[in-house]
Every structure is written in structure tokens, then in C-alpha cells.
Amino acid sequence: MCGIVGYIGDGGARKIIIDGLKRLEYRGYDSAGIALLSEGRIKLRKAAGRIANLEKILENAPVDGHAGIGHTRWATHGAPSDENAHPHTNGDGSIAIVHNGIIENYQELKEWLVREHGITFRSETDSEVVAHLIGVFYKGNLLDAVYDAAAKMRGAYAISAVAAAEPDRIVALRKDAPLIAGIGDGCNFLASDIPALLKYVRTIYLIENNETVLVTQDGITIFNERREKVKRDVFHVSWDADAAEKDGYDHFMLKEIFEQPKGIFETLNRRLDADGRVRLDGISLTKQDLEKIDRVYIVACGTAYHAGLVGKYAIEKFVRIPVEVDVASEFRYREPFVNEKTLLICISQSGETLDTLAALREARAKGARILSVVNVVGSSVARESDDVFYTWAGPEIAVASTKAFTTQLACLYLIALYMGSATGVLPEGEYRRILDELNALPGKLEALLADERTIREVAKKIYKKEQIFFIGRGTDASVALEGSLKLKEISYINSFAIAAGELKHGTIALIEQDTLVVVLATQDRLFEKLLSNIEEVKARGAYVIALAKEGNRKIEKQADDVFYIPACADEVTPVLGVVPLQLLAYHIAKLRGCDIDKPKNLAKSVTVE
């Protein structure tokens, strides 16, 4: 959540920082601001709303400088407003900061600053405390002041600070929130995510937890908590900046839906050896390691959690080992049974989700082995795991995750196949059958996406609905959760999903004339049961949209509209079944006039609890 960009060089900081903020706007778009160092002063401009509002202010009151820091905000403390927008300054405007995350003890610090130093606050944010705290400790050395301020603060955050008296430097600090530093030619950069810098640099430093960074025009110096210099290998970004552009699509979300065949192909193809067997690059689990494991936990949030629910089915079926799936924000607080015989699988698109990181650290402290499934190379979850299995989805910019979900599923299938084969639990014939089904998915996804028009026409019939139910059985119940989440994320329709067998235990009381019910019926062995569920809701006047495999035409007699997915094994239907639901959510949101890539109150990377 929130985006930070910093730059120091010969000049033109405004354009570079604004450009970087635009590329990070998916991280937060409640307000935006910039602080520029010029002529011995800090020049501040900020505005509530999108970056376009900030640009208008800069047109009317232009400023520039050789260095500066910028921010896009996702509001936590205080509503979106000009006053609450970052950057924040100390009382005389000689210190400016931008801040991602939460200062947990800000109220205590605020009271201390008011009582002991007579400071007047201008905003409702926890972030302004940081600016005043650094200002109180500032004695001519910004690096010292940042260290002193950090010693007083509790929470998870990334902070970048500048001082008018030291125009040759930017100081930044990372504690449980992402931060990178980019190495330029005669200039250097800071950012909270790689896309902000790709236009300018491809060589970066990944800043580790509890590290402080001093950035000057001539270099970047990293310090640990003890003020010791840290030697750090550079990280080279391999993916193309063009991958983060829309390529003619109306929205990033639609582009990323259509990139799923490629993402699945890349994720699978990179893990198959010459004999067509699964090779888990980045994972060193041997047969002996697996034989010591007696329990698997999958922890994740949101869309990644739904992928984990499908992963549970695959691992339990192919490996015959008990699997628990937990929401990461709950896992750490329920004292789970974790020890050295536990395998914890963390799933996160960004690899920076704070709740998932906290769960990882909790399990590691108890002796668990950590395997992560992430999309961002070098992310915090990846760096703190024993084994890393990357999805190859490419950058995902839209807040509503799509291709990350399907590539996460592909990774979980590969992990389950490998574990089942390595332990000898999964027969060779079954191993080959499922692998063949997985390899066929990219082509089937392309065929499915070619029929987008059918989904668009159904969306026109139902986009004014304000309540929608999703039901399914088996893995369809997990996909129903994801379909419901996509719809509510971007269309703001009151949508929720349940296992179809639970209908009679309360929810059916809400079904009445013209209630919209989306029924997932892609599991052959459960197909007849879903037909019965359709009968139940139709008897109460529901309008039914069904999802089924090609060939299961009996469903047309009961459903009002049907989407078909290509024939495939029950085990892999989630990869195909979710795509019509993604498209349906997209077209409904578009017809409702919603801001699809930047839905209200949401941000792409959730780096606060």
C-alpha cells in the first residue's frame, strides 16, 4: 500500500518522480504529493485524489529541483484530503518525509511531541509524527536524526526523508515494508516497487528489513541497525518495462486476463525437464525431507488464499498428507501446531503482504520449513523462505488479481505432483495424466478467451443487480469464492459465495424472485448434485447463470445462461473455470462505470495489518 519514489541527480526531479508515481498508482491513489529540493528550500505540492490532480497543481504553480521525494497514498489514518496527503513536514518545513505503513505508537509519540516540544499538528495521520520526530532529533545530520527517530517508533513502515540543510542526500529506512534503491548514471533512485524505476534503471539494491539507506547523486550506502555499512549484491531486473503497459487494452485487468495462457505456459514450461518430468527450480525438497513432514499449512490472503484452497485439494489427493489452509492474518494469532515436521507454504503475488510475512516468521521461529509461491523476484517473502517457487506471470498492475491466481494454481499443482511422485504415493500413470492435462491448459485458455463476447452479452443483462450469490462444490466452491471476490472488488456489488451444500443451512432464505445465482458445475462427479441445487434456487424464482464443461448440456434445461469451459480433468478445472468469472466481473464493472484498475478503498500490495 502507498507508493514511494525518490530521485537525486542533476535536475528534472519533478518529471522523474511524477512518472514513477504514475507507475505506482496501483499501490495507492487517495492522494499524491511531491517535495522537491531546490535553492536551499523544500518546495511542497500535494493534493487529494489521483495524480492528475497533483499535476494540475504543478501546472499552475510549477516547481522543480535536482532531488526530491514523492508519494501516492492509500489512506489508513485520516480521510483522503490535501492536509493528510504526503509529503509531511516538520514545523518550519525544513524536513519532509513520505511514509508507507503504520506507526503503531503514533498517538503516544504525538502526545509526547505536543507536551514536550509544543508541536502543532496539521493532519490526522500517523505519518506527520515521523516528520516532527525527525525534526526534533535533527542536529545537522539527517542520517543521525532518522536513526534516533526510528528508535522511538513501533510498527511496519518504509520512510524516506529529505532536509533543506542537506540538499545532497535522501535518507530512507525500511521496517517490514518494501523498499528498493536504483543505481543510475550520475543519479540514483528510491522506490517502494520496481515498476517505478524501470524506465530509468535496471540495476537495483533490494533493501532488507531494518536497514537504512543513504542516497546521494554519487552513490548508495546501506547501513544495518548498528550503523554498520552493509555490502549488498546488485539485482538486475530482467523483465521488460513494456510488460507494465496496457498494449491497447482498455484496462490492465483485461490485458492481464488475456495474458493468462502465456503466464501458465511460462510457469509450466520452465519446470519440465527433457523427459517431461517436474523439476522444481528453487526448491530442494528431497524424498527424505518430505518423509519427515507430517503436516502442511498454506497461508495467504485474498485471492492467494483462494488459490491455497485449491492447492489443499491437490496436495491431499496427490501426496496423501493433511493440509490446513489459513488466512494469514488469523494464523499467527491462533497458536497453530507448528514444529520442525511442518511445511508452511506461503502464497503472495507481491511477496510483501505483511500478514503473510508475519505468519512466515511465526512458523519459522517454531522450526517449520518455509516454501513460498510468489510472483516478484527478490521480494521479502521470497528472501525469507527456505525454498522459493516463482510464478512467471510477469508484472500484474491491476488491483484485482487475475493472472497471479491462475499461475499460483499452476505452481501448486506442480508442487503437489512433485511431492506425490517423490514420495511414491502418486502412481506414475496418474502423474503423467495430470501433467498432460496441465500442459493442455494454455491452448484451452486461449480457446476460452476467444468466446469473450458471450460473457459480455450476459453481463449486459445483469449488471444492474445489487446482490449476487456464487455456489459450487469441491474445488468449484473455492473458485466460487474467487469469482465473488473479483465481482465485489471492482463492481461494488454485494456478492458472496458458499459451498452449494450449505444452501439449505440458512442462505436459501435469501433466495427470492430474480435473485441472481452463479452456479459452478465443472466437477463431473458432482454435476448431478449441482443440478439439484439449481432446482432448489429456481423453485424460489432465482435467475441462474451456470458454468459447466463442454458436453454437459443437460444444464441448459435448468439454467438461464450457461458458460462452457473446454473439457478437462476435474482436478484442473479451477484454472479454466475462474476465467469466465473474471471476464464477467470485468464487463459488469465496465457497464457500471467503475474504475476497474483502481477500485475504491483497495490497493495492490497490502503492507499493513
Full 3-state SS string of 120-150: CCCCCCCHHHHHHHHHHHCCCCHHHHHHHHH
Query: How many Å apart are CA 343 and CA 296, to the nearest integer?
Result: 5
- CB contact at 8 A, 481 and 577: no
Phi and psi based region of residue 189 (left: phi greater than 0; alpha: psi -120 to 50; beta: remaining): beta
Closest listed residue to residue 359, CA positions, set 338, 331, 378: 331
The CA–CA distances, whole Å, from 350 to 300, 308, 393, 584 equal 11, 16, 11, 25
438 CB-near residues (< 8 Å, 6+ apart): 268, 410, 413, 414, 572
Q: Which of 402, 302, 538, 300 is nearest to 312 (CA)?
A: 300
The grid coordinates listed for 388 are 522459493
Q: How many CA atoms lie within 13 A of 469 on its CB side?
A: 24
Angle formed by the axes of helices 142-152 and 127-137, to 10°?
130
| 292 carries an active-site annotation | no
The partner residues of 7 in beta bridges, in order of sequence, read 68, 189
Q: Which among 2, 187, 411, 594 is annotated as catalytic?
A: 2
Task: Give me the catalytic one of 255, 486, 590, 604.
Answer: 604
Cβ(174)–Cβ(207) below 8 Å: yes
Would you call 2 a catalytic residue per the annotation?
yes
Distance CA 239, CA 14 (A): 26
Question: How far is it, in rounded angstroms, from Cα 125 to Cα 81?
Answer: 11
Q: Which three cell numbers stand for residue 1?
A: 500500500
Give Cβ neighbours of residue 297 (< 8 Å, ≥ 6 apart): 323, 324, 325, 326, 331, 336, 338, 342, 343, 344, 345, 363, 368
Q: Can you tell me the distance from the alpha carbon of 341 to that of 322, in angstroms, rounded to the nearest whole number?
A: 12
> Do 195 and 605 form a contact (C-beta atoms < 8 A)?
no
Give catalytic residues, as residue numbers: 2, 604
